[in-house]
């Protein structure tokens, strides 16, 4: 996926107001099946796979023994005893090696990343586009549902997931069909003013929603509890990698938190690693930052000590030696229809 | 890409228009296209004495902050304050309303080390990339 096609701003607004399509073929896909698949995934992943009915998906983490995040991913239970994991592109090899090293009898584990292409179709008009694309012959998947659809072009695995905060779909299909599916969606989407969108808009859209990006907001040095994502960790499960460390962190108290912030004055766009100050003392640094195309003001997320992780807390961001005022906000920073 | 014949160009994609002892400076059409949507411009202070190739301004897109260099030495005598409210002028009119600052050239400054339009055209078609 390139950084942009027609321009980050234009692509961003297309997704907020109409529909955009992202090529997510770079993302990794693993297949997990076999009688022990569920138990094995529940040992390696933070969320509880047992909660998934066939055709459902969940957001989850692959953690290390310290409770740090190796990767964040979506697991789809696409059939009885069969799971599709969609992982971050840059982490595909690391994730696969980590999981393979912990493989158990009764589990078939395959890296299918090269065989799959994927597209994310996102925006309020994605719903109409779905109906138009399939001539209303198929019902739309419900939120977090995944379904298999056979169409003239190919066989699609399609789910109502995304990384933008808008209605939308993610579709995966055999890589050799990528060009014709891409073209068909753009052609069919023309009447809905569809735009091809790149990594730049993907980042501004997800940051307005406070969705974390692995490598920026998540890392092996931070736990999901620090990132404010404990709802995707099931500490009730008897055993999973990272559980002991997370229980200890919870009882000791979480020392720092990832918080969204918004600039209170006109300033250069806040960016990753800019220092964050409180009353003249540095308390952290920005994990992710940008100029919000929707809000037209600087926004971002930063790790700060828990004592400052309060809504409306006033902080300052240092940009090339100048300090600019910001406040800690509630997430998401952008609300649909706002 | 638009490369006007009446300007001179730096290796780092600034343009310069000489009028007497005053030089107006901006970034080229090629540079603005590579940088994408400009959302913020940080300009030098009037009265600053700057030398050639010194970073004097910052142009920011959504994705990145990029330094802008003085193509020649001199004193900053004017800055384009219109960019504060409308930084996108750098995209829409890079050689006109999107100018960045004006320098008064000191006697003896070497304007001749800048590129002529033909050389600059050849350079950007060879590199194809904004390489600052």
Confidence of residue A336 (pLDDT cuts 50, 70, 90): confident
Instruction: Look at B60 and A3 and tell me if their CB atoms are within 8 Å.
Output: no
Write the residue in A266, A291, A320 that is nearest to B62 by C-beta.
A291
Chain A hits for B42, CB-CB cut-off 8 Å, are: 268, 320
Please list every residue in chain A whose beta carbon sits closer than 8 Å to the beta carbon of residue B62: 8-9, 200, 204, 269, 290-291, 293
The 10s digit of each residue's pLDDT in B55-113 is: 999 999 998 999 999 999 999 999 999 999 999 999 999 999 999 999 999 777 666 67
Residue ranges in A75-198 assigned as alpha helix (H):
92-100, 126-133, 178-189
- pLDDT digits 0-9 by tens, B15-56: 999 999 999 999 999 999 989 899 999 999 999 999 999 999
With an 8 Å Cβ cutoff, is A114 touching chain B?
A: no
Q: Is A69 on the interface with B (CB under 8 A)?
A: no
Q: Read off the tokens for A128.
A: 């109409």
**Residue from A1, A9, A265, A274 whose CB has the most chain B CBs within 10 Å, to mutate:** A9
Residue whose token pair is 């800019």: A274
Residue B125 banded pLDDT, cuts 50, 70, 90? confident
Contacts of B114 (CB under 8 A, 6+ apart): B8, B9, B10, B16, B71, B72
Give me the mean pLDDT over the A241-252 stretch: 98
Closest chain A CA to residue B63: A200
The complex scores an ipTM of 0.82
Number of CB pairs < 8 Å for A and B?
Answer: 37
Q: What does the pLDDT read at residue B45?
A: 97
Determine how β-strand B101-104 pairs with β-strand B74-79: antiparallel
Contact (CB<8Å) B42/A268: yes
CB count in 10 Å sphere of residue A274: 19
Instruction: Dump pLDDT digits (tens) for A164-200.
Output: 999 999 999 999 999 999 999 999 999 999 999 999 9
**Residue in chain B nearest A3 by alpha carbon:** B63
| Cα-based angle A39, A91, A88 (whole degrees, multiple of 5) | 85
Determine the 3-state secondary structure of A101 from DSSP: coil
Cβ–Cβ below 8 Å for A7 and B37: yes
Best CA proximity match to A222, nearest among A329, A69, A331, A97: A69
A193-206 in b/e form (b: 16+ CB < 10 A) is: ebbbbbbbbbbbbb
Contact at CB, A290 and B62, closer than 8 angstroms? yes
Residues of B in contact with A3 (CB under 8 A): 36, 63
Residues 221-280 of A with CB under 8 A from B: 266-269, 271
Give the residue from chain B lying closest to A267, CA to CA: B40
Residue A22 predicted with pLDDT over 50:
yes
Q: Any idea which residue has 């009353």 for tokens? A: A279
Could you give the CA distance from residue A317 to residue A282 in angstroms, rounded to a whole number? 9
């Amino acid at each position: 996926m390139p950084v942009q096609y027609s321009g980050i701003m234009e692509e961003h607004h297309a997704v907020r107001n109409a529909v955009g399509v992202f090529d997510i073929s770079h993302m990794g896909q693993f297949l997990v099946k076999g009688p022990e698949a569920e138990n094995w995934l529940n040992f390696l992943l933070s969320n509880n796979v047992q909660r998934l009915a066939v055709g459902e998906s969940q957001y989850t983490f692959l953690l290390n023994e310290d409770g740090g995040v190796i990767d964040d991913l979506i697991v789809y239970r696409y059939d009885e005893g069969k799971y599709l994991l969609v992982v971050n592109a840059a982490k595909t090899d690391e994730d696969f090696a980590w999981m393979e090293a912990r493989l158990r009898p009764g589990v078939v584990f395959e890296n299918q990343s090269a065989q799959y292409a994927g597209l994310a179709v996102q925006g309020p008009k994605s719903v109409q586009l779905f109906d138009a694309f399939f001539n209303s012959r198929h019902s739309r998947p419900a939120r977090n549902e995944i379904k298999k659809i056979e169409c003239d072009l190919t066989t699609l695995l399609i789910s109502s997931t995304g990384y933008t905060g808008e209605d939308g779909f993610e579709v995966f299909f055999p890589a050799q069909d990528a060009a014709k599916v891409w073209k068909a969606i753009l052609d069919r989407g023309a009447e809905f003013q569809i735009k091809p969108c790149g990594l730049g808009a993907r980042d501004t859209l997800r940051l307005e929603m406070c969705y974390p990006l692995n490598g920026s907001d998540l890392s092996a040095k931070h736990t999901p509890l620090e990132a404010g994502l404990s709802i995707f960790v099931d500490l009730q499960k008897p055993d999973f990698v990272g559980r002991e460390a997370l229980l200890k962190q919870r009882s000791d108290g979480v020392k720092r938190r990832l918080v969204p912030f918004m600039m209170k004055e006109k300033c250069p766009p806040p960016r990753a690693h800019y220092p964050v100050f409180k009353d003249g003392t540095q308390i952290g640094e920005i994990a992710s930052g940008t100029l919000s195309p929707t809000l037209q003001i600087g926004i971002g997320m930063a790790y700060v000590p828990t004592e400052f992780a309060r809504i409306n807390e006033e902080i300052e961001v240092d940009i090339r030696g100048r300090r600019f005022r910001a406040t800690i906000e509630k997430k998401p920073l952008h609300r649909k229809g706002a | 890409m638009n490369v006007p014949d009446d300007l001179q160009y730096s290796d780092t994609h600034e343009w310069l228009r000489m009028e007497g002892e005053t030089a107006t400076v901006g970034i080229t059409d090629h540079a603005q296209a590579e940088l994408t949507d400009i959302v913020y411009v940080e300009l030098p202070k009037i009265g600053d004495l700057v030398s050639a190739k010194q970073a004097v301004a910052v142009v920011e897109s959504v994705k990145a902050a990029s330094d802008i260099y003085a193509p020649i030495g001199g004193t900053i005598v004017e800055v384009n304050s219109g960019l504060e409210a409308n930084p996108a002028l750098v995209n829409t009119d890079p050689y006109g309303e999107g100018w960045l600052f004006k320098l008064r050239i000191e006697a003896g400054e070497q304007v001749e080390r800048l590129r002529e339009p033909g050389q600059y055209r050849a350079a950007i078609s060879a590199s194809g990339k904004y390489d600052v």
